[in-house]
Amino acid sequence: MAMITWQQNRLIRQFDREILWIEAWGKNALRIRATKNATMDEEAWALLEPGQEKAELLVDGHCVTGAGAHDEVVAGASSVAIRNGSITALLSADGRLVFQNQDGKVLLEEYLRTEEALGESRSLLKIEAREIKMGRGEDCALTMRFESNPKERLYGMGQYQQEVLNLKGSILELAQRNSQASVPFVCSDQGYGFLWNNPAIGQVSFGTNRTEWHAQSTKQLDYWITAGDTPGEILEQYLQVTGLPPMMPEYALGFWQSKLRYQTQEELLCVAREYHRRRIPLSVLVIDYFHWPNQGTWRFDKTYWPDPQAMVQELKELGIELMVSVWPTVDADCENYSEMLEQGLLVAADRGLRTQMNFLGNETFYDATNPRAREYVWNKVKEHYYDLGIRTFWLDVAEPEYSVYDFELYRYQKGSNLQVGNIYPLMYAKGFYDGMRQAGDNQPLNLVRCAWAGSQRFGTLVWSGDIHSSFRSLRSQVAAGLNMAMAGIPWWTTDIGGFNDGATEDPHFRELLIRWFQYGTFCPVMRLHGYRLPYQEPMSKEVGGGMCDTGAPNEVWSFGKQAYEILVRYIQIRERLRPYIREQMKLAHEQGIPPMRPLFYDFPSEEHAWQTEDAYLFGAHLLIAPILHEKAVQRMVYLPGDKSWIEVETGRVYEGGQWVLADAPIEAIPVFTDQKELVECFRG
């Protein structure tokens, strides 16, 4: 018989070598941990410390103790449970967990098929729900299995390059790659949210027969589950325990201009002056990589950027914020390499050479899981950028982007890459967030090419990586952005037009760029970026900022007269929407409501809202239906709710609860609003 004890809001079961903890953690939520080691690891990972919720202990269906209860041994009971608000975890005699809401509906239950299992779960298959296979030392391979509802819909999990919004039936790698961000929180239409609170490399399968979470190497099981009546309630409870984003700064609400890559200070300033001359609103201008002498110097190459402080000052006078690219790479020939190596600030290699990336040199990554390494890098950045007035940073290559994704080769201070690798982008962002807060910045914002659960609390704006310039890729970004929102990352954007292979003179690409730009207007951040064709040669073959090539011009006047007029119109629309966008960012900051979200977030009772995967809400009052196929000039749009919707381009009014055929000439995409005053933002 298992020993079950109750200790300060925590139900503990011990049987053979396994220790199982079930405890209240946030509103209507429970945290589950299990190990076969002698003690439980207390690492919080994505979670913040819980509030003052007091769980109740139920024995044989009766509440026997609650807040302030003393330790109590539960013996001779046929059933034991712990209840926290609207969620209850029932622990059966065979050790299986079943989660129910306040109405007794089963939300999720462990999949157990053994001879010792009770009832219909009894089986000779010998499949454990919590399979912990010990390896060397305290390490184990871990598989967690749950029963599957074949009709369930699942959303979240971060960013995967696929045209799939409902993840039921998907197999997802739990690993970070360029354009893939594993954020292991999933929201179910059955009324629960689930966080796999484990940064280990692994996989999840949302099968119709069962759900399986797997970690290749870890120390223990750790997950968090919450119950809610709506997706909004579930997501907001999740952000309460993983952290709310800061308020987005005012400068970030407008249009951002970027390209791969402005090669000199004068080139960048000429672009800023031209936007100003044409009276096109520009909020942020971006300096991409290799403006530095070498990777790991974290400073300007004065050959090409002779007076950064004067550059920053001129841009501020034009009302433009400057963003600079920072990489976590340290070249073996860099001035800081030896010192960082001596101090143990670099990612180690368990086998082979210590070259983890090969890009115009031999590079190693700094160890963002090491607080001393984070402080070292921030101090360099502060001295060479922040103290010049640069207040926002582009944290590129944040996965980190190993030249070879052999995760078992690399080791951090916090553990092996197999055990903790997925947390790297969160720690990377944390180093800058902590430094900026210490410098007095209350609204840190940094553009980061990856994320993990909780990244949002460190001012992380995620973009979708180095994606292809194609309509297929555009369709994948719509799904990626909405699933990022449902994974608790409210700040998200893309490279408008895609990153690779867009030729400025190609009419097919110009159509794609226009459609992507129209979509990007209604993303949390509107940012034009790309490595445009034809490529241009490096300015120098020597070591330094001139040795990297660049792409063709990527400013809004670079794609012909028709495109220019359309793009400028949408920049002006974005500018007029600033008060509305600011209010959405306030809601994200205060409550965790994502600015960009699926229709079902606001209309959970409507079946068509759940079925819609190619349109979304931008705040509560704008419905966006982007054009996602080449040559398309019409599309069907579902208008949810029991209210009237105004088509902003035509002024036509439609009642909610129906599908409509919307026109979409190249000049515009279908946008609907239920607020008359917002229509004016699209006029003029």
pLDDT in tens, 489-511: 999 999 999 999 999 999 999 99
Radius of gyration (Cα) for the chain, nearest Å? 26
Q: Which of 128, 401, 441, 466 is catalytic?
A: 466
Q: Which one-letter DSSP state was computed for residue 420?
A: H
% of the chain beyond a pLDDT of 70: 98
Q: Which of 128, 212, 363, 396 is catalytic?
A: 396
Residue pLDDT, tens place only, 226-246: 999 999 999 999 999 999 999
Q: What is the 3-state composition of the chain as percent helix, strand, coil, each rounded to the nearest 5?
A: 25, 30, 45
- Give the whole-angstrom CA distance, residue 202 versus residue 207: 16
Closest CA to 280 of 37, 649, 555, 684: 555
Domain annotation for the chain: domains and CATH numbers: 3-242 (2.60.40.1760), 250-591 (3.20.20.80), 598-682 (2.60.40.1180)
CB 678 within 8 A of CB 580: yes
Using DSSP bridges, classify how beta strands 106-109 and 329-331 pair: parallel, antiparallel or unpaired.
Answer: unpaired
- Counting beta carbons within 10 angstroms of the beta carbon of residue 546, is it exposed (0 to 12), middle (13 to 18) or buried (19 or more)? middle
Phi and psi dihedrals of 332, rounded to 5?
Answer: -60, -25
Segment 172-181 shows an average pLDDT of 98
Closest CA to 211 of 190, 231, 228, 229: 190
333 counts as catalytic: no
- Give the whole-angstrom CA distance, residue 488 versus residue 244: 9
Continuous H helices in 70-209: none
**Residue 649: which residues within 8 A CB-CB, separation 6 or more?**
663, 668, 670, 671, 682
Phi and psi dihedrals of 658, rounded to 5?
Answer: -145, 160
Residue pLDDT, tens place only, 253-283: 999 999 999 999 999 999 999 999 999 999 9
pTM score, two decimals?
A: 0.97
Residue pLDDT, tens place only, 555-606: 999 999 999 999 999 999 999 999 999 999 999 999 999 999 999 999 999 9
Q: Which of 331, 399, 441, 647 is catalytic?
A: 399
Phi and psi dihedrals of 601, rounded to 5?
Answer: -60, -45
CB 63 within 8 A of CB 55: no
396 counts as catalytic: yes
441 counts as catalytic: no
Residue 341: is its pLDDT beyond 60? Answer: yes
DSSP string, 277-308: HTT----EEEE-S--SSSTT--S--TTT-S-H
Distance set, CA 469 to CA 380, 399, 476, 495 (Å) = 35, 22, 11, 9
Phi and psi dihedrals of 5, rounded to 5?
Answer: -130, 160
Q: How confident is the model at residue 512 (pLDDT cuts 50, 70, 90)?
A: very high
Which pLDDT score, from 0 to 100, does residue 118 have? 87
CB 262 within 8 A of CB 268: yes
Task: Name residue, tokens 């920049």.
Answer: 571
- Counting beta carbons within 10 angstroms of the beta carbon of residue 618, is it exposed (0 to 12), middle (13 to 18) or buried (19 or more)? buried
- Give the whole-angstrom CA distance, residue 446 versus residue 57: 44
